[in-house]
Structure 1
Amino acid sequence: MQNIYLARQPIIDLNARICAYEVLFRDMNKESVITGDRYASAAVISNVLNKFGKKELLEDKRGFVKIDEKFLLNDIIFSVPKEFFVFDLLEYVTMNERVVERIAHMAKEGYVLGLNDTKLTLNTFEKYAHVLKYLSFFKLDFERGLDDDISFYIKELKKYNIQVIASKVEDHESYEIAKKFGADCFQGYFFAKPKILENAKYEAARFDVLKLYNLLMQDTSIDEITTEFEKSPEITVQLLQFMNSGAFHFRNKISSLRHVITLMGRVTLAKWLMLMIYSKSLSKNKNHKPLMLMVQNRIELMEIILKDVEPNVKSDRLGEAYLVAVLSLIDTIFSMKLEDILEGINISESVKEALLDYNNIFGEILQVILFIENSNFKGVTQFERDNSLAPGTVQKAVVSAIENVNHFNHPEMV
């Protein structure tokens, strides 16, 4: 499985404590070769929220993310949880009327903004005169040299309650100089090199995301939207990871995918989907990876066998079965312990017990699926006896599931 990468570099305060992280784009070669700043920004944000998870990557700190003018002005930025990031404006962003208005609006809405690796001179104050009151951070690039009046300029910034971060601090001498001039925080190789983090690349097909987005924007029933989500386990898993990032705090336990969609709402879901599209992290190849075929097969088996055990099963029960199947391989996808993942997802106890202890009927069916995958026919036979099913019922379910998965992945063959 192809992996995705991010780099994370700590930002240190005056007491040598980590106060934030800068999150940096890395390509498949673990290099910072950027084809476009807008793409890099969206890819970093999307990967933090949907692939790595905010808690795992940033803990309780904010992440600094570089953004250009196009990303700043696109409404997709309002789909990003404002509690998690500092949007660091690149130096070449022009302070035109639209940019100034957007910065003011974002500050009013509670977003945190800063200036990225900028040289601090009199020209700096002239350029950013109209937005200084909206900024929270100023990154001072030590590699570009310091103006003779640097101490005065830093004091001027602090009049606006702007914290100064001395970036690219490479040695002890630079660190002492930065402290002397009044920097509040520090970043650079002297403290730590960017740590490259790796996770499994797990992406949804572009067409599926676009279709879901269109359904959300139309007058489509919640049942139809849920059905479309259920056709794409890739999107569902990323949605659950997004929720796990801490962006939402639901009072009630989540029992099904339909429940998730209802609680989040159409607008929030649509914005989230657009962020996925915008980041270009979606595969152009619609062919599902082997792991995704396994997830899809488990979904089919869970639902078919549950209907055999409970012929009059209701949709909410089927929704729980779907959630169990999707989450049953999430530890493999995210390279984390299942217990740790479930700890951060507000799912119902029945779903959690099924996944961790094989309790209740969902857990029993999941265990039967594992029996099937490991050719444990004795366990399958015992399940049929325990649930008063005719011999061969599970085998028929296996055949039906295979047919359904093949139809799902190769509709042109039918």
Structure 2
Amino acid sequence: MENIYLGRQPILDRDGNLNAYEVLYSQREKADSYAHNDFRSAMVISTILNKLGTNEILGERRAFVKIGEKFLLNDIVFTIPEQFFIFSLLEDVPMSERVVERLQQLRAKGFILALDEIMLDADTMQKYKEVWSELSYVKVNMHAPFINNHEIKGIIEQIEAKGIVVVGTKIEDEEKHEFARNLGCGLFQGYFFAEPKIFESKQYDPTQANILRLYRLLMEDTNIDEITAEFEKNHAITLQLLRYINSGIFHFQKKIASIHHVLVLMGRTPLAQWLMFMIYAKAVAKGGEVSPLVLMVENRTELMCLILKKLKPDAGSNMLGQAYFVGVLSLLDTIFGRKIEDILEEMHVDDMVKDALLYEKGLLGEIYVLVKDIEQFHTDKVALFEKKYNLQGAILDDLVLESMKQVTLFEDATKL
């Protein structure tokens, strides 16, 4: 795992559900190049996923993996487990007789194939004429210059008529998402779902307001009897909490039967953290699916705490709790449709957390910026952080992989 950056970006369907991932990887010395040594890069990804367990990293989903001509034509490609990956061919792979034959062989063996961010024009349609029947996906960069050509929608319709799903990539806001939908894309890659839509007059719905009230009581050291009474006024929240506490995730000797008992055994901070996730879950839940936004928050909280512990092994529970809350509060503006500074003003948030979220100040602010750079695969900025804190070798890679594993476990537990 030396000298490799690894990232995982979500791919969503038209209903906003998580459909697949793309695994991103690059060598530090060639951080933006897949064309150089693509064979080694692809093999490193395969090794990482299999070493840690593909189910733990991907869950029930497949991962798009970029591949070049060298890797494609090497027979070792047949050793990759076809049920976990979608091979996404780089645009510079020539459609030679050997390549066409290899794509046909892979498809016959059950591999799923895609084209990676190709140009869409008449020449492209001609270039791939012999392999359209072998392909399942075509990825298209929504920021590419050709995307505004008036003929693009018709070309996408031609591709989809062949039974191929078009994936719009580089989608970072709702405007681009709507543009891609109107073009006919069936899948969407990017973090547009985390982009807040700010409405100055928007109010919390009653459930959200109740959860925030409970959160404030917990964090303000309110008397336990007063907190218990407030919980008992909110029957739906109380029932969900009791179901959660008795689910098997915790290992108390006796079943929990009262909120007072929960507060004593669970503690204020873990209970407050659970309430924050309740806000996300209630705001975005649909059809029993775990929202990508919830998984993104879980990933942020995991990475915030993992990185802090690596930088400060002696960090106490208080600072780790602050790191957790930076992650969990970071997307509340998306949930509430209000500016994050306005939300934090109504909550009992200490200055370290507020400075990290609003001004990216202090160690927690630096870690918060790093987590966002990891999400966006800004490898040059990640490298600067590594250099500043002397994080040698694969330290950050290991933390990123561990966070992926924990998010998958979290999603599995949430579905129970």
Q: TM-score, normalised by structure 2?
A: 0.45
Larger of the two Rg values belongs to structure: 1
Q: TM-score, normalised by structure 1?
A: 0.45
